[in-house]
Structure 1
Amino acid sequence: MPKMLRAVFIFIFAALAIAGAEWGKEIGSAQYLHYIFKPLTTLAIFFFAWRNQPVISRTYQTAVLIGIICSLIGDIFLMLPGTVFRHGFLCGLLSFLLAHICFLRAMISDSRFAGKPLAFAGIAALGIINLVILWPGLPTALHIPVVAYVCLLLCMTAQAISRGLQLRSLSGRLGLIGGLCFMLSDTLLAYNRFYIPITHSPLLILSSYYLALWLIAASVTSSPTEQGQDHA
């Protein structure tokens, strides 16, 4: 299947998943669109990353693919109603924590860890500010898991920025923007859940999330100037 056609399928699946989440409360049957197309969108992004050629390196691609699978598992846990599985949010959080470990592994496979210290300092400061604001609304049982998750998310995002600035390549830029979009999506989700409801939160959270995954998936492909380089 041509790359452009795969991208079209991803867009359609994502639009249906978002529509189901947006209209699910008003139109009960629309929720099934969300249940069906949320995991299908992530699965389509997995195949997009799997089929992308030529790749930066097998190490980078493999780490990204495993991270997307962890994200798929997290998607399923997070969309389960509390009446079906009351630990869904915690299991989803842990699944995405593993996903960020994988994405971080990819980001350090071809660039020096914390090669741009200012990126880490800036992202850390932003993360601390968000934690201070959100902390009063966090259930006590989630304090440790949330702190661990935030640390991994911030580290992945900062390394994505650092990698992009070090490599100055198409893959680097895609990964950089993808990392920032992931941080934006998770920040919106956290504020919506633990601070104050956000208008059209499914649209904002899911669109930035799918954009993040797609950009990270796209970053496995090397540009013509990068072909032939093996950073594994």
Structure 2
Amino acid sequence: MRKALLALITIMGFVYIFLIPEELLGAKIVFKLVPMTLIILYAATNTSLVSPLYKKIVVIGLAISMVADAAIYWFMAGLATFFVAHLFYIAAFRSARRKSVPLIAAIPLVLYGLFMAYWIAFPQIGSGDVVLGVAIIAYMAVILLMGWEAIRTRLPLVIIGAFLFICSDSFLAIDRFVTPLPARDALVMVTYYAAQVFFAASIGSQFVKLSPDKEKTISR
């Protein structure tokens, strides 16, 4: 069943991205939500090997993300809803956190956040749209914190998913505020759906203890 769900997610994602015209807004929103509905079902049917709490919080995060998918057509509403979804992902990843990760590992995330703030958020503030600029900075902070907490889980599926989510949101921000991107829908949505699939699949990740003081993470 789970393999069939992955196939359906791929097919319906393709239909939404490449076959539904932008002019049909109602149909576009409906078909956008179908892959997320299937991803939530995929997560719900996945055996929880991290913890039941982790599975519950990830599923809630996926559900809120699905709401945000529709709300993003009204940009600020979508941004706020995705912000809440990331808070749930952060909580889930913290519940699955293993051994500590050196803070130096966070430097690339911090540098990337500063660069994106300078490139995208500060020009909005400079042009007088302070609320939008501050909202973008707050959102970048929460998604980068999500990425950091993903790294601290040491779960490969979570880390890949977080990286893809950051890429998806970066493509969206660049297209909206800097310059139109060729194949924008494909860039944004393929990375977005893939990120959510990785989060859903991470529910089946497990930890294998190698010794009393050493732990290795493997993915199932």
Q: TM-score range by the shorter chain?
A: 0.7 to 0.9
Deviations 1:153-201 (A, max 9, x none): 000012212322xxxxxxx000000000000000010000001110110
Partner of 1:82: none
Q: Which runs of structure 2 are paired with 1:118-197 in the superposition (5 Å)?
A: 118-134=104-120, 135-137=122-124, 139-164=129-154, 172-197=155-180
**In structure 2, do the counterparts of structure 1 residues 114 and 69 end up closer, same or farther at CA, with 3 Å as the change threshold?**
farther
- Tell whether the 8 Å contact from 1:16 to 1:33 is kept in structure 2 after alignment: no
For 2:19 and 2:114, the matched residues in 1 are separated by 33
**AA in 1 matched with 2:123:** P
**AA in 1 matched with 2:172:** L
For 2:98 and 2:49, the matched residues in 1 are separated by 19
**AA in 2 matched with 1:48:** Y
Structure 1 residue 223: Cα displacement: 4.3
- Tell whether the 8 Å contact from 1:107 to 1:159 is kept in structure 2 after alignment: yes
User: Bigger CA drift: 128-137 or 64-73?
Assistant: 128-137
**In structure 2, do the counterparts of structure 1 residues 7 and 99 end up closer, same or farther at CA, with 3 Å as the change threshold?**
same
**AA in 1 matched with 2:37:** L
Q: Which has the higher strand share?
A: 2
Q: Could you tell me which of 45, 52, 58 is aligned with 2:46?
A: 52
Partner of 1:222: 205
Tell me whether 1:18 sits opposite 2:4 in the alignment: no
**5+ unaligned residues in a row in structure 1: which ranges?**
80-87, 165-171, 227-232
**5+ unaligned residues in a row in structure 2: which ranges?**
210-220
**AA in 1 matched with 2:58:** V
RMSD, aligned α-carbons: 2.0
For 2:2 and 2:46, the matched residues in 1 are separated by 8
For 1:58 and 1:95, the matched residues in 2 are separated by 24
